[in-house]
Structure 1
Amino acid sequence: MSYNIHHANPPSRKDFIDLDAIAKVINQQHPDFVALQEVDVHTGRSGRNVHEAEALAAATGMHAFFAKGIPYDGGDYGIAVLSREPILEGHAYQLPSAPELKGEPRALCTVTVNRNGRRMLMASTHLDVTRPDTNRLLQVRAIAGILSKAGMPVILAGDFNAKPGSPAIQVLDSAFTRTCDSCPFTIPVEHPNRTIDLVAFKPAGAFKVLDHQAIPERYASDHLPVIATLLLKKL
């Protein structure tokens, strides 16, 4: 699953935090991995004592690893991965940006797990929204470089703030295989009209894609959650 959770603030309820709604979405789908974006940790707006990634892990029976993007409101704001399998290693990488664009700093979050006796890596990211495409191109190229050294099957998911066919997604497609060709729209939740939340993997022969869909859940966040079903092939 890839899910931009809007810091667990339902768009229809200003300043209200509803982690239970996000956990319900995850539990209904029962994914093995969740790439989360827009995650608050110990912020004033979401609760000084609340670590949203860890709270969601507890509510879903999963394990969590958080990667800070920026300091925010007395705490941290960033991305995370939830894993059904115990996390063997977790890493956070800061992604590059062009200083003149003054974009919000972005990150890549990775976890390594054992899956059916094999090591694999799950990654979450959230690319810059700034126009033009300069920062997204810098960031997706950096991600491709980092994950090229993984030495194991990789799944990358996140909010790319770019549509299929755009320069950034063309770079993504040169290094990864997306789980969809005609990808379902993911934003806005009411009358969605574009796709910016994606799942991809490498190497191309490591997985078989069984399904890809956007879940029509319109309350919990301003993005629809995306579910891709992949079969990890035997060696």
Structure 2
Amino acid sequence: MRTVIGLLLTLISLATYAGEGPFARKMKKLRVMTYNIHHCNPPSAGAKIEVEAIARVITNEKPDFVALQEVDVNTERSGKGLHQAKELARLTGMHYFFSKAIDHQGGDYGVAVLSRFPIIDSTRLILPIDPVIGGETRTIAAITVEVAKGKKVIFASTHLDLKEPNRLSQSELIINLFKDSTLPVILAGDFNAQPDSKVIGLLDQNFTRSCLDCKPTIPVKEPNRVIDFIMFKPGSTFKSLSTRVIDEQYASDHLPVVAELGITY
């Protein structure tokens, strides 16, 4: 009898490891993009606004999530009545959430997320700025979605400050905001910091980047800096399958990054 039970347990274990059997864990692939869209203004096109150009880049990659930075809503430069996040959602067939950072030219400017999945919950989180050194207000756009039956994740977009002391305090707050999350978290955006910086070193202690040998994302021609990242926590839930920098030199002054993540459930 003991031999039979032992054999059954072994078979169940092997089936589970192979992704089969009643106790097997499933893996779902998620495609994630982060894109600083330069308020939909192609740098070579003067003051022209081309939301369609950004939408084409996104549609070509068919992502499940997109983290957007430098998004205009009803500004003079982009056109009163133009909500760029909403229009990108319409053009790509996705859901959206916008998080304002600052007032700009009679409208709003900030970050946003697009999601292939319906948004269950959303929140705007303000990041700190040292009043002594100053800087623009920065925020996080965070959403909760269900990617599979009973499996929820948080997806967040951010754009850190240009000044390192602010980026460090902002990174510390991000870590504290998500450290106790009971849901898996994907964080993506323009961190204005390179892989060997204190900021990325701090985030690396609490998040896993989708790539360690990441390709440069700025400038779009002959890029030489890596500042746009996709990262996640907890590490046991996600597995990074691939990361690519898309060679799209017209639509923005940043190259978009696309990562494929496997999530087990």
TM-score tier after normalising by the smaller chain length: over 0.9
Pairing 1:181–2:182 present: no
Per the alignment, residue 156 of structure 1 pairs with: 187
Alpha-carbon RMSD across the aligned residues, in angstroms, is 0.6
Measure the CA separation in 1 of the matches of 2:165 and 2:132.
10
- Give the letter for the 1:47 counterpart: G
Paired residue for 1:53?
85
Q: Does 1:27 align with 2:31?
A: no
Give me the identity figure in percent: 52
Equivalent position amino acid for 1:55 in 2: E
- Match among 157, 182, 193 for residue 124 of structure 1: 157
Q: Which runs of 5+ in 1 are unaligned?
A: none
Q: Secondary structure at the match of 1:46?
A: coil
Q: Which moved more, 1:145-154 or 1:44-53?
A: 145-154
Which position in structure 1 is the counterpart of 2:29? none
After TM superposition, the score normalised by the length of structure 1 is 0.98
Residue 144 of structure 1 and its aligned partner are, at CA, apart by 1.0
Matches within 5 A, 1:191-230: 191-230=222-261
Q: Residue 81 of structure 1: which of 113, 119, 131 is its match?
A: 113
Q: Kindly provide the amino acid, as one letter, of the partner of residue 129 in structure 1.
A: L
Q: Cα offset for 1:126?
A: 0.1
User: SS in structure 2 opposite 1:209?
Assistant: strand
Q: Report the structure number with the largest CA radius of gyration.
A: 2
TM-fit CA distance, 1:100: 1.4
- 1:99 is matched with 131
Distance 1:90 1:115 in 2: 15
Cα distance in 2 for residues equivalent to 1:60 and 1:178: 26
Displacement over 6 Å in runs of 4+? none
CA distance in 2 between counterparts of 1:149 and 1:158 reads: 21
What do residues 169-188 of structure 1 show as CA deviations (whole Å, max 9, x unaligned)? 01110110000011110000
Give me the whole-angstrom Cα distance separating, in 2, the residues matched to 1:105 and 1:58: 28
Give the superposition deviation at 1:149.
3.2
Q: Deviations over 1:62-89 (max 9, x none)?
A: 0000000001000000000000000001
